[in-house]
Each structure stands twice: as C-alpha cells, then as structure tokens.
Amino acid sequence: MKQLFAFAGMLLLCIYYTQSTSAQGCVAVRSNGASCTRLHADSIEESKWQLNIGYRYFHSFRHFVGTEEQKQRVENGTDVRNYQHSVDLTLVRNLNNRWSLAVNVPILSNRRSSMYEHYGNTSTSPNARRSTHSFGMGDVRISAYRWLLNPLTSKKGNIQAGLGIKLPTGDYNYQDFFYKNDTTRTLGPVDQSIQLGDGGTGFSVELNGYYVFSKVISVYGNFYYLINPREQNGTSTTRGAVPTSANVANGSSVMSVPDQYMLRGGANFMFGNFSASAGVRMECVPVYDLVGGSNGFRRPGKILGVDPGVAYQFKKVNLFATVPVWVVRNRTQSVPDKIRTKLTGVYTQGDAAFSDYTINIGCSFKF
C-alpha cells in the first residue's frame, strides 16, 4: 500500500513540476515556478530536502485569430517562429508531514524569428527574416504548501493548498537588434513573448490533489492562478522606434503585466515502478486581471489539450516526461483591441502564434 501512495505522490510531482507553462508561444504564459512539496502525503519519513530539475521546449509558429488558424502565414512564409528552451530548478524544504516551502528559479533561452519586425512582411530581400534572442534568469517564485487533510488518517487521497510570491527578477526590458535593411539596425526591447520576466510582483494560489481507487488507478487535479496587480511595466513595444499616436491612444505602446492560470486533471496508471498518465490541460492569459488595470499590450488567449505522461521511480530519484498536445488554440480580443474597435468603429482582434505541443522532461532528487 505504501508503494501505491508513493506512486500517487510521484504523479503529483509531475503535476507540480510541469506547471511550468510557456507553451503558447506569442501568448506570454510564463514559467510559474513548478514545485513539488512531498512525494506522498501519508509518509512522515520523507527526506527533508528535494531538488527538482526539468527541461522544457516548444516551437510556436501557427497563427490564430480567435480559434481560426491563419494558414496563409505559414504558406507565405510570414509566420513568426518562437523557440524556447528552459530549465527550471526547484528546491523544496519539507518542514513536517503537512508543511513545506519551495523556491523556483527558471533559466530561459529564447529565439524569435520573423520578417515583420525587421525588413517587413512584404520585403523580397533574402535577408528579410531575422532573429532576436534573450537568455537569463526568469521570475523567481517562493511558495508555502500545506496538506489540508491529515496525511496519517487520509490514506486514500489528499488536497494541498499553496500560496506564493513571484518576484520580478527576470529582465522585462531585454533588448536586441532589429534590422530595417542590410545596413540599418535599431536596438530595442524584444517582443513580450520572449522577455525573461513580466516586471510585476505577483501572488500565486494553488490547489493540488489526488485520490487512489486501486493499486493500478488513481486520479489527480491541479489549479494554479497568478495574480499580477501591476498594470503596465513601462517596456516599449515599438522595437526601438517611436510609438504611433494610435498605439498610445489604445494603450498598446507599452507592455502589460497579465494574470495567468492553469487547470489540469486526469488519471494515473501504475505498473510496478513505471507509471503512465492521461489527462487534459488548459492554460490561459485572461483579457482582464483580477486585481489592477488590464490595459497595455498583451496577447490574451487560451489553449486546451491532451496531456499524456510517463514516469519511473527509483529509491531517491524520480524521472518523468510529459508531452501536452494542443487541440484548441484561441487568441482572444485584448483591451487595446477593444479600445481601437471603439475609437475607429472597425472591429479589431490581433493574432498570436501557438505551438503544436510542448516537451517536458525532468527528474527529482531526495536528500
């Protein structure tokens, strides 16, 4: 029975760890500091320290306005291509069988390839497609977690609550060169989607849980919401150029500091030390924040997909991999879009590039 609980907790580790989102590409859902508090709730003999290390990769290039794909962007070669590699380091201190603390540090490496940011989408130059880059530490998150039910008496399942603070440690005004032609380039802030941070001090709320039905089957669920009270971070969206009066009027000349949230749930299947999971996952950057204003440039949107995974448990080490595959991609109308629509009388809704899938691999060490 103890092995069964260890399995349930190990899958929760995968849930917590793969909270590190950023799968939407141009929709800037940032790493939200995945963390695991304990491998299983019912054990009081767990190691006091745990280190989680994970790697994530995605490539976004499919453009959507609402849920409609703009297939001509790929066909014409004017699509925007984001490539993100990230490593998340999470150190966990288990205080007792109910309380734990976690510190997450993301390290990001981004590349964004486009034509419109450089020579322009109508250029016929073979050099028209150029890339901008960013590399460094993202926003650090510190969290506290508590199992709501007594692990010693709640043998079949448990629910965990978490509260955290996200610090603006990532550079939110990272700059690179934009090429206007073969001889002219301008230094300016890179696109919001590859900025290392969002510039806001945020507060996270989490609920994580599992329930064991048998030696083979259990279920899991996870909810995460990041509240960002700051409305705008002051970073220009004009790539080193002067903002237009229209952009100033609708608020899109500077970057916003958006909220984000994630929902995840599914079933786990155990076969000895090997396990597999199948579930659904949704990530979202909402149009409106819960606290503070919502103007400023953002690409709000949501994605929904299937979320398969595998894991293998050793005595002190857990290995896992998940590959969420996105089925629904929706770029919603932002506040600047709504303001522009009202000012001009012409309906406006921007686009965003999304990925087809995300690759997450990682491991956890107890010591």
Q: Does domain 2-366 have CATH number 2.40.50.140?
A: no
Contact 334, 351 (CB under 8 A): no
Q: Tens digit of pLDDT for each residue in 322-353?
A: 999 999 999 999 999 999 999 999 999 999 99
Domain boundaries along the sequence of the chain: 2-366
The pLDDT value given to residue 12 = 54
Per-residue pLDDT reduced to its tens digit, 200-248: 999 999 999 999 999 999 999 999 999 999 999 999 999 999 999 999 9
329 Cβ contact list (under 8 Å, min separation 6): 24, 62, 64, 67, 69, 301, 303, 354
What's the pLDDT tens digit per position in 97-146?
999 999 999 999 999 999 999 999 999 999 999 999 999 999 999 999 99
Over residues 154-177, the mean pLDDT reads: 97
pLDDT tens-digit profile of 255-308? 999 999 999 999 999 999 999 999 999 999 999 999 999 999 999 999 999 999
